[in-house]
Structure 1
Amino acid sequence: MLNEDSRTPHPPLPELTPETYINRELSLIDFQRRVLELAKDESIPLLERVKFLAIVGNNIDEFFMVRVPGYIQKVKLGIVRTRPDGIPPQTLMQMIHKEISDLIQQQRETMSRLFTLLKQENIAILSFSDLDADERRAVREYFKTEVFPILTPLAVDHARPFPFISNLSLNLGVHLERYSEENDEIETEFARIKVPVQDSLPRLVSLNQVLTRYGADPIDGHKFLWIEDIIIDSLDVLFPGMTIAEAFPFRVLRNSDIDYEMEQEDDEILDVAAIIEHGVRERRFGFVARVSVPNTISERMLTHLLNGLEVREETGVYLIDGHLGSANLFELAAVDRPDLKYPAYVPRYPDAFQPDGNIFESIRRQDILVHHPYDSFTPVEEFFKQAAHDPDVVAIKATLYRVGKNSPIVQQLMEARDNDKQVTVLVELKARFDEENNLEWARQMEAKGVHVLYGVEELPVKTHAKVSLVVRREGAGIRRYVHLGTGNYNASTARLYTDLGLLTCNPELADDASRLFNRLTGYGPETHYNRLLVAPEYLTNTLIALIDNEIEAARAGKDAGLVFKMNQLEEDVMIQKLYEASQAGVQIDLIVRGICCLRPGLPGISENIRLRSIVGRFLEHSRIYYFQNAPLEQQFLLGSADLMRRNLYNRVEVVFPIFDQRLREKLLRLLATSLRDNTNTWELRADGKYYRLQPDNATVNSQEIFTRRSFGLLMPNQDNE
């Protein structure tokens, strides 16, 4: 460990200003633009481009459920305090509305082009004008048989108030007319219909399936109808004796961020699981953050909806060209047309493991580094499986953050308990939008006798670390085996996210892992670690010390460099230290997939910083920190933490060193290959804008290279993995 006391004093850190600090929310919107660019990319298979459209829609939804509500509350409370970007909340809300509106318009234009291309492939979402009489009759029968029984129209009048509209729900607002003999005039009524797409029905109804079931001739290809169009076409069945004056869909997003800090203020609440369960139930009742309506909506209908929803700010209303809820395009992307998707990729089984061998023998031979999804996740699952059934294993400990709905690892942990092993699992219930799933797994494990914990004693601190420990009897003693990762123990995301995992029985790392679990499950605020860097206690200071070491090397005339790869970069002190390092002459390469508040390339401030974002087929998720002049055993640090305030100060994170020179060389190759990418890479420049790199001579697609060689291009004098 570097001796922080030996460092020479440095000038004060550069002050962050609107010129040197990019707003976090606007940076996140920029990331959605990069994802949308993939939907426009003609080199990408057509249905994959549709999937990227859906991803943008899903990401925008989450943005309004999690990020925007905080600013709505600040505006209501009159808070004008700003971050270093200097943008007050009221102004930021206006900027978000403009930027998101522009982004959605681009998305819709792209959607229209893709739908035209899909028609050429005999895939289409039809309107009722495209159907003949027999097809309309069959769709009508489908409505009466399968849709009508589920629907519940809710009238709104002097006796019946405007109904509650749940989060993420798609609804129809309907104006109805009837003649009143008593008043001798046409009276207008309003009703709301919830479109049952979240649980009951598909959003895109397969026309071929409908025609087959209801006696019409099938048609070629893959044809669909929007479920709301089917309902609108049959409104007369729902409202007999009424005239349908107009009907428009609308969609509501609500504040969905559970406030754990507020819950902590109640000293009577001691059951974390109860808090989470209550928060999940209440999530759908949060205040309205966004209302989406078609841009063809009448002024009368829009006014009625906004009054009923109590939406007063125009920044909360979005007029959409076309059907609402583009996240549902995942259903279209799932069409069975392999020729319009990426070629199937089967991850390789790492050479360090024998498919049917003893995984603990493999780990004893050498530390093993795996790079998902290019390397199979199976060895990680096998690590838990063999531990669960090995008679010499006496204990298993693990942290679980997002494990997925069907988790082989959780099943193995329960089987380990069936086999009388001690099993301790820290399940993070505060994993946003995975709370309910994690709670269900926790209860199943508890029923099996697994010792389940829900976090450390400080409730707001999430346990985000990815660590597991297996204790095994060997000879006259015990040996501990450890898995440390940058990603979750989730087999599904391991096929889509790029992550790194280390399997080792190094005694120092194993001892630190034991200390960490003792800290998490018991009491030990003064716990110290020899090799692991654990947040919130120790990570930040060590990273600062390592950056300072590069600064000192540069000032001494040595070559100095940093290469950081992460998901997000927004923490103030880290940005200031990177600016200081740049000013000292340290050459800095940053690979930041998503949010980035640092502005590179500013003369005299960040001219030695180059910043890139890689967005491609797989979601870049690994965190790697490289320090050129650090002691060899600290040159590479991998882990669960991004350089964000929440990671460094409000989460239990684990960052770990790589001791084996052979593995450090692999990581050098990985970073070098990523930095050479000119296919899926955008460069952030001094003007705060991202520019997609264009291949000059040789095309380098880092993700495609990793599918052939897990750690990328060979370095000089290397000829194998």
Structure 2
Amino acid sequence: MPQTFTPIPASASAPAEPEHEQGLRTMPAGPASLGMARETAPIPVSAPLNVPMMPLAKSLSTALLELQGQAMPASAPVSAAGLVAAAYTGLYATAESGEVQQQQQQQQQFLDRDHCILAFNERVLDWAVREDVPLLERLRYLCIVSSNLDEWFEVRCAPHVTAAKAGDAKGLYTLQSFRSLMDKAHELVLRQYTLYNQSLIPAFAGQGIRVVSHGERSSAQRKWVREYFLREVQPLLMPVGLDPSHPFPQVANKALNFIVRLKGVDAFGRANEVAIVKVPRALPRLVRLPEKIAGKQRLFVSISSIVRAHLVELFPGREVAEFAQFRVTRHSDLAVDEDDVSDLRMALRQGLHHRHYGQAVRLEVSFACSPMLSDLLLGQFGLPTEALFRVKGPVNLVRQSQLVDLVDDPALLFPPWRPAWPRQLQPGRSVMAQIRKRDVLIHQPFESFDGVLELLREAVNDPEVLAIKQTIYRTGSDSEIMQLLAEAVRRGKEVLAVLELKARFDEEANINSAEKLEALGAQVVYGVLGLKTHAKMLLITRREKRSGQLKRYGHLSTGNYNVRTARLYTDISQLTCDAQITADMDAVFSHLSSHNRLPKLHQLVIAPFQLHDRMLALINQVGEAAQRGEEARIVLKMNALTDELLMQALVRAGQQGARIDLIVRSACMLPPQRKGWTDNIRVRSIIGRFLEHSRVFYFAWGKQQELLLSSADWMNRNMMRRVELAWPVRDPVLRQQVIDECLVAGLYDNRDAWTLEANGAYQRAPYPTTGLGAQRALMERYGPQV
């Protein structure tokens, strides 16, 4: 039976429903639950909003839009970044000095974004700690934290390292802030390795699964490992002895290396003391020992252990005095001046190589690495001592995730989950015929992404379909989406792909996809220079047989067109033939491909031109209603909340009496329930089996309400430096479904939720093993599927 989200009585073991939470449950549709059947009245469609502007003279997106339409002087910046900077200047120049002072005071009270990101990873690590989680899944969560930390260092830490090296004491990045972040990062890494060594390794040993070191291997196992080394490893190694003619080699980002101190002299009688051994990425990081020498256990050896055991064979005639594994992390954002390139795709392809050798931001070494060797490495990479991480175990925990696939034991994994076919689509029938009758919502991964794929397959194979337009951000390698678009071109259909080349760490896959589509004759564009196209849209134009008229079919989503992540991330898709929405989509595609001025849109709200304004206006509307004594409610679900103007607006609305709940998975810089400031704001974060990824914005004031789905988080980058979209859910039944499944479920989760406290710390849900979990309830509602 599906779980229903009803108020928890005070007498139950769970805490009573706080009064602050009841507002969402008493919306016009009546008490919300996860059940499909409803006896309640439909939610009225919100009337057009006539919302006054915030007290500030202009919001950022208004200033940006006005600047876009003005003739810029020759000396003024013409890049998108320049427009955004000019918009900021115009905004704060027109604000009253008292308002600016109040904003600055609020900024000082906001939480630090980087500390928020590290706190998010602490919450993820909790799943690796929990003994009720299957063992291989615990390892997977541990590796996810390491992967997240890698990306944080690659993307966020370069300015901090630069400030630390300069000894900066003032500004956004300082030596003090760097040390504070490194203290937190060291603490998190220590927790990881303590968990790995003291909990996970013994637990795996109890299951007969071990990664055996050289000292633990039998003579037969050592013989097999030596033969493997000679056959598979040694031919790929190229040790470099350091001297004036052999400088320190280029070390790639996150690659495994050894630094070795040698005794004696080389073949030319020189006492070059230090050598570097780079371990190629092509080598597997874990190798399973054959059953005949492993006995009844599942035994593995790491590539680092194999190399370490045979280092002496790489330096014949020399004695290995000491050695250590090391790994350097580098700044990895691609720096391409988009205003000074004639071919963005070619410039990005050339930049991909340089990413591997950017500024060093972190050095990891094995725990026993001597101060002499670690100091040499720190000096070589120009890093302060705080950026040195000594680890008791593999220097790259991410690669331990290979154990999940190598062991492949269902008993040590979550029960398999296969998403159900979308309930609102009848299998075997034309998807387009069904959405001609009414809009369809798909809630991934509880429902299958196959419904979206089936729509595109149908469009490709339908001779009446004339054109397909789609945004592409992350599709993954060998994507069926890209294969279908290619097939559509071959069948003579007009195909427009707005492909974002700068999707971080997916640049190469997207460049390759662009080249393949262009070679077939598709129209491929890269959006707007200076902005990332992050909006998710698919638009199909078909000539209807009966009427002979052209009709549009649209798909909008909070998540990517990626089959793999569609099974792992929670997202909402909407299939629609709504004439206003699909006309808006067509206008946006035309804007992205031709750079024509964007016309007035009927339903879609687009960043960077409208979305920021619209969110500010809606918050303001709710706050003013609260001030008049009317019911006023805001519930927002997103991945991150860091935009200061939007946070200031939420603070003001809360002070006016609006009740505000924020469900923010990762970084939330707005501290809740601080007396006299954010008393009416609560924040929670849900970390579950699936990655929470949908963006849902609910505003209610008086008898009106507005529910929007979006591709955008509430971050300055999304609002000002990306093409994003939000759209209203106007169908009352679908609207209530989103409210139930994305908002009510999240607010009543007392299993996987974390509550942000006023001091910036997170408190775990009281019932992590027995409570009511939103994701589990939705799996029961849509499943079980195996």
TM-score by length of 2: 0.85
Q: 1:108 to 1:470 in 2, by over 3 A?
A: same
Q: How does 1:135-534 map to 2 (within 5 A)?
A: 135-178=221-264, 187=271, 189-196=273-280, 198=281, 200-208=282-290, 217-260=293-336, 263-266=337-340, 269-311=341-383, 313-334=384-405, 335-456=407-528, 459-474=529-544, 475-534=547-606
Pair 1:96-2:181 in alignment: yes
Q: Which residue of 1 aligns with 2:31?
A: none
Structure 2's unaligned 5+ residue stretches are 1-47, 58-97
Q: Which residue of 2 aligns with 1:65?
A: 154
In structure 1, how many angstroms separate the alpha carbons of the residues matched to 2:519 and 2:473? Answer: 20
Contact 2:449–2:566, Cα closer than 8 Å, also in 1: yes
Contact 1:486–1:499, Cα closer than 8 Å, also in 2: yes
Superposed CA offset, 1:433-489 (max 9, x none) = 000011011111111111111122xx2200000011000101221110000000000
In structure 1, how many angstroms separate the alpha carbons of the residues matched to 2:502 and 2:334? Answer: 8
In structure 1, how many angstroms separate the alpha carbons of the residues matched to 2:414 and 2:710? Answer: 29
Displacement of 1:711 in angstroms is 12
Pair 1:2-2:49 in alignment: yes
Pair 1:548-2:633 in alignment: no
Contact 2:712–2:719, Cα closer than 8 Å, also in 1: yes
Q: Which residue of 1 aligns with 2:41?
A: none
Contact 1:53–1:329, Cα closer than 8 Å, also in 2: no
Q: 1:664 to 1:81 in 2, by over 3 A?
A: farther
Displacement of 1:78 in angstroms is 6.9
Displacement of 1:641 in angstroms is 0.3
Displacement of 1:668 in angstroms is 1.7
Contact 2:751–2:769, Cα closer than 8 Å, also in 1: no
Q: 1:122 aligns with which of 186, 191, 208?
A: 208
**Structural RMSD (CA):** 2.2
Q: How does 1:633-644 map to 2 (within 5 A)?
A: 635-644=706-715
Q: 1:94 to 1:6 in 2, by over 3 A?
A: closer
Q: 1:343 to 1:207 in 2, by over 3 A?
A: same
SS, match of residue 38 in structure 1: helix
Displacement of 1:79 in angstroms is 6.2
Displacement of 1:419 in angstroms is 0.8
Contact 1:666–1:711, Cα closer than 8 Å, also in 2: no
Superposed CA offset, 1:611-647 (max 9, x none) = 0000011000000000112886x61100100000000
Q: Which residue of 1 aligns with 2:132?
A: 43
Name the aligned partner's letter for residue 245 of structure 1: A
Q: Which residue of 2 aligns with 1:108?
A: 193
In structure 1, how many angstroms separate the alpha carbons of the residues matched to 2:489 and 2:267? Answer: 74
Name the aligned partner's letter for residue 422 of structure 2: P
Displacement of 1:5 in angstroms is 4.0
TM-score by length of 1: 0.92
SS, match of residue 628 in structure 1: strand
In structure 2, how many angstroms separate the alpha carbons of the residues matched to 1:147 and 1:128? Answer: 16
In structure 2, how many angstroms separate the alpha carbons of the residues matched to 1:645 and 1:592? Answer: 16
Displacement of 1:159 in angstroms is 2.1
Name the aligned partner's letter for residue 202 of structure 2: T
Contact 2:51–2:618, Cα closer than 8 Å, also in 1: no
Displacement of 1:191 in angstroms is 1.0
Contact 2:262–2:320, Cα closer than 8 Å, also in 1: yes
In structure 1, how many angstroms separate the alpha carbons of the residues matched to 2:583 and 2:370? Answer: 67
In structure 1, how many angstroms separate the alpha carbons of the residues matched to 2:367 and 2:184? Answer: 17
Name the aligned partner's letter for residue 162 of structure 1: F
Q: Which residue of 2 aligns with 1:692?
A: 764
Name the aligned partner's letter for residue 219 of structure 2: A
Name the aligned partner's letter for residue 412 of structure 1: L
In structure 1, how many angstroms separate the alpha carbons of the residues matched to 2:267 and 2:342? Answer: 62
In structure 1, how many angstroms separate the alpha carbons of the residues matched to 2:703 and 2:278? Answer: 61
Q: Which residue of 1 aligns with 2:111?
A: 22
Displacement of 1:272 in angstroms is 1.0
Displacement of 1:673 in angstroms is 1.1
Q: 1:654 aligns with which of 725, 741, 745?
A: 725
Displacement of 1:542 in angstroms is 0.9
Displacement of 1:301 in angstroms is 1.6
Contact 1:371–1:711, Cα closer than 8 Å, also in 2: no
Higher relative CO (Cα under 8 Å, sequence separation at least 6) belongs to 2
Q: How does 1:553-564 map to 2 (within 5 A)?
A: 553-564=625-636
SS, match of residue 4 in structure 1: coil
Name the aligned partner's letter for residue 452 of structure 2: V
SS, match of residue 713 in structure 2: coil
Superposed CA offset, 1:378-404 (max 9, x none) = 010111111111011000000000000
Q: Which residue of 2 aligns with 1:718?
A: none
Larger deviation: 174-183 or 62-71?
Answer: 174-183
Displacement of 1:70 in angstroms is 2.5
Name the aligned partner's letter for residue 720 of structure 2: Y
Name the aligned partner's letter for residue 685 of structure 1: E
Displacement of 1:545 in angstroms is 1.1
Contact 2:587–2:598, Cα closer than 8 Å, also in 1: no
SS, match of residue 273 in structure 2: strand
Name the aligned partner's letter for residue 224 of structure 2: A
Structure 1's unaligned 5+ residue stretches are 713-721
Displacement of 1:205 in angstroms is 1.5
Contact 2:623–2:656, Cα closer than 8 Å, also in 1: yes
Displacement of 1:74 in angstroms is 4.3
In structure 2, how many angstroms separate the alpha carbons of the residues matched to 1:630 and 1:489? Answer: 38
SS, match of residue 481 in structure 2: helix
Displacement of 1:306 in angstroms is 2.4
Contact 2:630–2:701, Cα closer than 8 Å, also in 1: no
Q: 1:366 to 1:486 in 2, by over 3 A?
A: same
Displacement of 1:330 in angstroms is 1.1
Q: 1:255 to 1:493 in 2, by over 3 A?
A: same
Q: 1:143 to 1:534 in 2, by over 3 A?
A: same
In structure 2, how many angstroms separate the alpha carbons of the residues matched to 1:697 and 1:425? Answer: 45
Contact 1:600–1:686, Cα closer than 8 Å, also in 2: yes
In structure 2, how many angstroms separate the alpha carbons of the residues matched to 1:672 and 1:642? Answer: 20
SS, match of residue 709 in structure 1: helix
Superposed CA offset, 1:261-296 (max 9, x none) = xx1353xx1211012112212101211111111221
Name the aligned partner's letter for residue 316 of structure 1: A
Name the aligned partner's letter for residue 468 of structure 1: L
